[in-house]
Every structure is written in C-alpha cells, then in structure tokens.
Amino acid sequence: MITPTFHFTILADFLEVMNEQASILVDKLEQHVDKEPFDCFLDITLCALDIICETAMGKNVGAQNNRDSEYVRALYKMSDLIHHRQKSPWLWSNLMYPMFQEGREHTRSLKILTHFTDNVIAEKVCEIKNHTQQKDDFDDNCEQSGPKKRRAFLDMLLNTTDNEGKKLSYMDIREEVDTFMFEGHDTTAAAMNWVIYLLGCHPEAQKKVHRELDEVFGNSDRPVTMDDVKKLRYLECVVKEALRLFPSVPFFARTTSEDCHIRGFKIPKAMEVIVVPYVLHREPEIFPDPEEFRPERFFPENSKGRHPYAYVPFSAGPRNCIGQRFAQMEEKAVLANILRRFWVETSQKREDLGLVAELILRPNKGIWIQLKRRSVCVCHKKKANEDFSS
C-alpha cells in the first residue's frame, strides 16, 4: 500500500526541500572555511532531520537553526534510550521498565514525540477536509490561483488505500510517520558523513567528483534538479562505496521461512538470523582489497555478474528499505551542494573514528574535517563521463 508513495516522480517534489535545507547547511559550513578542524557530524545530521520532517510530515521544525527544540531533544533522547535498552536485559520487561529512571524518561520523550505527530496528523486531516470543501465550492473549470502546495508523505498516507479501497488506520499512519522520522534521517546523515570523510581521505576521488560537478553545474549556484541527480554517476559510485565500507545499518535480523544450509551448517525454519553487512561487504572474493576505498567497484562494467545479495546496505528482498530511492536522492543532492562549494580535507585516521554499531554505524569521536573554498573550473564536455565507458 505504501510503496507507491515512494515513486520516482513523487520523490521529485521533495528536491525543493532538500535544496533549501542543503543551502542552510552550506551557509553554516561557510564559517569553518580556512579554520581549524571541526566535527561536521551533527551539522549534517540536523540537515537530514529538517529534510525528513518537512518531507514526511510537511512540518518545518528548523532543527539546523534550533538544535535545542523540544522535539529534536526528545528524538535523540529516544534513540539513546532504545539502544541502551536493547543491550540491557534487565530493562526488557515492559512491567519493570517504568520503575527505572530510564523508563520514566522514555515515557516523557515518547509523549513529546507522539503529541507532536498527533498534532501534525490532525492538522493535515483538517487541511484535507477544508481543501475538499473548497474544491466543491468551485466549478471544475475554475482555476485556483496561488502557489502550488507541497505534498508530504503524510498527505499520501492519508489517501492511501488497498485493493479493496480500505484506508490505513490512524495508528497505522502514526506508526509509519514515526518510522520515517527515525529511519529517514539518522541513516542518510551517517551515509553523507562517511562520504565526506572518505573524500577527505582520498583527494584523487574528490577531484573526480568535483570534475563531474563542474561539468553538470558549471559555475552556477542553481538548485539540484532530477536531471542533475541522474547525471552524477561518479558521485553515486562514491556513495555506494562509502555504504559498502560503512553501511548505515550495521546489522539487521530476519526469520528463516524454511530449513536452509549455509556453508555446511543447517539453519532450521523459524530461526532468527542476524545479517551483518559490515562483514558481508568485506568478502575478498567479491570485493578484492576490501578495506580500500575504490568507487570504481560500482562502475557498470565492474558490477556485472556480482551477486545481488553481496551488497545490501538497504537490505534486500521483499523486506528491503522502502525509502532507498529517497535516501539516494537526498544524499546526492545534499552532497552536491556541499562539494560544489568546498574542498574537504581530514587527517583523521580510521582507527581514530571510534566506530560504534548502535541503531546506526557511527563514529563515536565524530568526523573531523577542514574546509577550503574552491574555485570552479569547467573542463571539456567529455571529461565528466570519461570513466564510464559504454
């Protein structure tokens, strides 16, 4: 029922939001140009949060300009509480949990989040009713003036029906919106941070990205369009390679639907299996020199024949990530805005990242970079695509 809301033509409507929020991020990053190294992780995460708030709910929470808002604080507090509870068996009981201080903090944070979501849904329902009423008051041939109203996932969820015309229940809608909010910003934020870090470590790859960006955008500062997103093929390979090395979701679980054998071991039906992309993506037979950063691995000619489940940053099969195309579009749009303006450097070693596998794979010690303002040099037309032989 929900999959059509992620159709490519619908996603195109969200590019305007992505460009606006990326522009705010770039202006914030300007203050760090030619200065000391700084941790960019939170800045990029707040940008991703603003994007998902506006695209999922149609609500601008202004997290980039007000990181201390009640909703933002509750969202991050809830993430910390969930992760800690997962690791702490003594907190698993729903009966006992409220007796701990963490349980009480969980209740408070949950109340803030659900109250916010409830209000947004109520506003949307009222808005749709008013719009329907106004529509009935006009002749079909009468044009309505005014700017085009932005759609959000919530608008589409409220109108989604199954094959029998049945709509999602209120709780279904609230749970989907909450899922978008949690899964739709941390994961994309982590991916963008890893790309920035890896390009800072590999200047030759960064030069190729800049060459492609210069070819597509020249020296203009215009917003990123859907056509641009399609043309940024080397940047797409960079993002894919970053997610190979540092998958945003470090592990996920599946239940076997039948008995199966893996490398001589029998896995019974109904067994819970943990898949660890961080390890899977380092299989040397499929990805030679697996610790090396090589975006060229994902050139079409190099991907041919590779098993589709050898690379699963978004999981795979019928339970794969429903927001995969949304995430890829956001990552390319935001990164394009950043890298058109700046040259990125870092002296941070991988062993200094302090990798932690929580709800997402993140660097416990942050992503420390330095920025320089770059001048654009538009090369010959054929340069940007020279690495993609047909």
Side chain identity, residue 234: Y
What's the alpha-carbon Rg for the chain, to the nearest Å? 22
- Indicate whether 262 belongs to any domain: no
Domain count for the chain, please give it: 1
- Indicate whether 270 belongs to any domain: no
Binding residues for heme: 321
Question: What distance in Å separates the CA atoms of residue 233 and residue 384, rounded to the nearest whole number?
Answer: 9
- Indicate whether 256 belongs to any domain: no
Spatial contact of 319 and 254, defined as CB atoms under 8 Å apart: yes
- For 152-204, the DSSP string reads -HHHHHHH-B-TTSPBPPHHHHHHHHHHHHHHTTHHHHHHHHHHHHHHHH-HH
Residue 303 sits in which domain range? 3-135+151-249+281-373
pLDDT tens digit at each of 390 positions of the chain: 777 767 667 788 899 999 999 999 999 999 999 999 999 999 999 999 999 999 988 888 899 988 778 888 898 899 889 989 999 999 999 999 999 999 999 999 999 999 998 998 998 888 878 876 665 555 445 555 555 667 788 888 888 877 788 888 889 888 888 888 878 889 999 999 999 999 999 999 999 999 999 999 998 999 999 999 999 999 999 999 999 999 999 999 999 999 999 889 999 999 999 999 999 999 999 999 999 999 999 999 999 999 999 999 999 988 888 889 999 999 999 999 999 999 999 999 999 999 998 888 999 999 999 999 987 654 444 444 555 544
- Indicate whether 145 belongs to any domain: no
CATH code at position 122? 1.10.630.10
- Indicate whether 255 belongs to any domain: no
- Indicate whether 23 belongs to any domain: yes
Element (DSSP H or E) covering residue 94 = none
- Indicate whether 81 belongs to any domain: yes
Binding residues: 321
